Amino acid sequence: MSEEKMSAETYVVSGGRPAHEHDAPVNPPIILSSTYRGAGTVDTVSDKVYARFANPTWEAMEEVVAGLEGGTHGLLFPSGMAAIASILDLVPVGSVILIPKHAYMASITMSKDLQKRGIAEVVRIDLEDTASVIAAFEDAAARTGVTPETVDYAAPKVLAWLESPTNPMLEVADLPTICAAAKRLGVVTAVDNTFATPILQKPLSFGADVVVHSATKFLAGHSDVLLGVTVTSNEDLYQAMLHHRITNGAIPGPVEAWLGLRGLRTLALRVERSVHNAQRLAERLSEHPAVEEVRYPGLPGSNGHELAKKQMHGGFGAVLCVVLRASDEQTQRVVEALRVWTPATSLGGVESLIERRRRHGSEPDSIPPSLLRLSVGIENVDDLYQDLVTAIEQVIQ
């Protein structure tokens, strides 16, 4: 069966394997070498030369993630932020970065740092208001003079950084409409697909130019490795990100790459179980009297539910937010009273993690002080629910 005809559930297990030959290993080996033999003229396409340029251990995971996302080129990085930097650092002086009002805070921080250095202007956008997003694209394109004919993917004058669902407020963007408008205007689009994973959503199929993941999260899936990955089918973007990785030394370790691929093998199963648990928890918690709001696109009647139904297949993700009818101090005590849930930042592991997001001073005031972000794992959902309810009822009278 060809890779094109395989389901994601099959490809995530079978992709990136060594050749089907007698006595070949089932798993790709870990290649530990800082350099490669060679004496002739260097062919930059086929020769590995030096470990900052290439390592066969990376290539297997790059191949699988690119195949899952429907892209032609995958690039592995030592962290999600290194992957993000390989895109954001491409913008030239005088550029505009459009980024959601709610997004991964480190992405916003990196964008603001570019603004402080006089490289780019940062414009915040509301992804739930598609018309205003397109208007912001039109304004940025007009002010920078970019057009579809003049767009430089290796040095984008206007870069739209998108998330859907957003972190942590789980807003859903109309990605097909937004990406189509970007193409029409010469705006380059990057989508952080960490929350959805390619099991549930493929932004490249909606017209996005590049997809980025913190592979630390769902892709590797075991809270034991830092990795990032980008995927694109645009040759100019790929070459620019590859150049960034080589020249900045933003390379993953081969052991980390091997661990990431091992974790990736169970992605489909883990996502299926975690999404099932998240949906049930969202439904049950929304009925609890101590809960003011549950933010989860899988809840009928939520702002992004109908849009998410069209864009996400197989579920609505394994992250949800709960706003308690409580003070920030009470909310923190609820977290401390939990026994099954682990109080920690990050997400996407097999274990369920919980965090009061406003404990981070960098979180904006638009995040409610009593908001808890839940990364739902693969445990028994009844145990997860009972642990939450017991802690809530111990603290909130």
Catalytic positions: 52, 104, 192, 217
DSSP secondary structure code for residue 357 in this structure: G
Asked if 230 and 86 count as a contact pair (C-beta separation under 8 A), the reply is yes
3-state helix/strand/coil string of 125-154:
ECCCCHHHHHHHHHHHHHHHCCCCCCCCCC
Pairing type for strands 319-324 and 371-375 reads antiparallel
Alpha carbon separation from 379 to 113, 252, 319, 341, 346 (Å, rounded): 39, 30, 14, 10, 17
**Residues 355, 326: Cα–Cα separation, whole Å:** 15
**Residues 213, 211: Cα–Cα separation, whole Å:** 7
- The burial class, CB within 10 Å (0-12 / 13-18 / 19+), for 25 is exposed
**Residues 265, 147: Cα–Cα separation, whole Å:** 41
Q: Which amino acid is at 4?
A: E
Q: Is there a cis peptide before residue 100, judged by omega within 30 degrees of 0? A: no
Collapse the DSSP code of 290 into the 3-class scheme (helix H, G, I; strand E, B; otherwise coil) and give the result.
coil
Residue that the structure tokens 């009647």 belong to: 301
Query: At residue 319, what are phi and psi to the nearest 5 degrees?
Result: -115, 130
Of 296, 382, 285, which Cα lies nearest the Cα of 334? 285
**Residues 366, 270: Cα–Cα separation, whole Å:** 31
Q: What are 113's two structure tokens?
A: 């740092």
Q: What are 77's two structure tokens?
A: 């990085």
Residue that the structure tokens 């034991």 belong to: 224
**Residues 350, 372: Cα–Cα separation, whole Å:** 18
Q: What are 80's two structure tokens?
A: 């999600």
Alpha carbon separation from 397 to 145, 286, 334, 382, 392 (Å, rounded): 59, 18, 12, 22, 9
